[in-house]
Amino acid sequence: MQYQAGKLRVVFESILLLYLYFCLTTIFLVVPPLALKLIGIRLGLRPGTAITLGGVLIAELLALWAVSAYYKRRGIPIGTLGWSIPANKAAVIVLSLIAAILYSWYAMQIPQVRQSVAEVSLLKVWGLAVGVAAALIEEIIFRGYVMARLQQAKIAPMFQVLFASVAFSLLHIGFGLMGILCTFIVGIALGGLYLMGKRNLLGPILCHCTINAVLEPWLLLWLLTFYSEKFA
């Protein structure tokens, strides 16, 4: 009974953290553009995308601070997140890049994304910086923190991957049902890379950073364009 209660506590704590993370992301995505609109500043889609990226970065940094504070308070070594565990680096790197290329190719079937992907601009530089930072932090949280906590509760690896992937996909709910499904599949791949690397974050971070480096800020710009036209 005590063992089952421990499992439930770990799952509840993980759900609570992810819920707070989701709320943070939503607030910092929505509030900055609305605040500017309320004071009479109307931005075009590209400046609006830049502002939204800034909100994403703030939310991600706050989430990273929360996880770091939790580990520090509990006295848990930061290596349990996946920094100090050896991995089969060559195989993980190759598979990570293949997964990133496949997903990037799929996302570039969106004409607006494909047309802009080779553009070099200040918006691209900003999108690259925020995208890589967000990918790094999201992997620390979803693969590092969540899967490590579930492992400590002796929850099966398959469930760890599924739990983290569902949460990861729901974070991208704004992309619609197809976006959620695609992100869930990517989450499965990232979780698999994490396990294949013996719980080293190298694989999922490399894959996720590569995807964001290629697609951002154009994927976010496409999404904001879609919603601006839908609710115009």
Give residue limits of the domains in the chain: 2-230
Token pair in block for residue 98: 């293949």
CA distance 104 to 90: 21
Taking only the tens place, the pLDDT of each residue in 56-115 is 999 899 888 888 888 888 777 776 777 766 667 888 899 999 999 999 999 999 999 999
Q: Which residues contact 211 (CB under 8 A, 6 or more apart)?
A: 100, 103, 104, 107, 135, 186
Share above pLDDT 90 across residues of the chain, in percent, rounded to a whole number: 47
Nearest one of 51, 50, 21 to 34, comparing CA atoms = 51
> Residue 40: pLDDT above 80?
no
* pLDDT grade for 203, boundaries at 50, 70 and 90: very high
Q: Which residues contact 27 (CB under 8 A, 6 or more apart)?
A: 59
> What is the reported pLDDT for 13?
75
DSSP state of 118: T
CA distance 230 to 69: 40
Contact by Cβ (8 Å): 202, 90:
no
> What is the reported pLDDT for 215?
96
> What is the reported pLDDT for 84?
65
Taking only the tens place, the pLDDT of each residue in 158-179 is 999 999 999 999 888 888 888 8
Contact by Cβ (8 Å): 93, 203:
yes
Query: CB burial class (10 A; 0-12, 13-18, 19+) of residue 70?
Result: middle
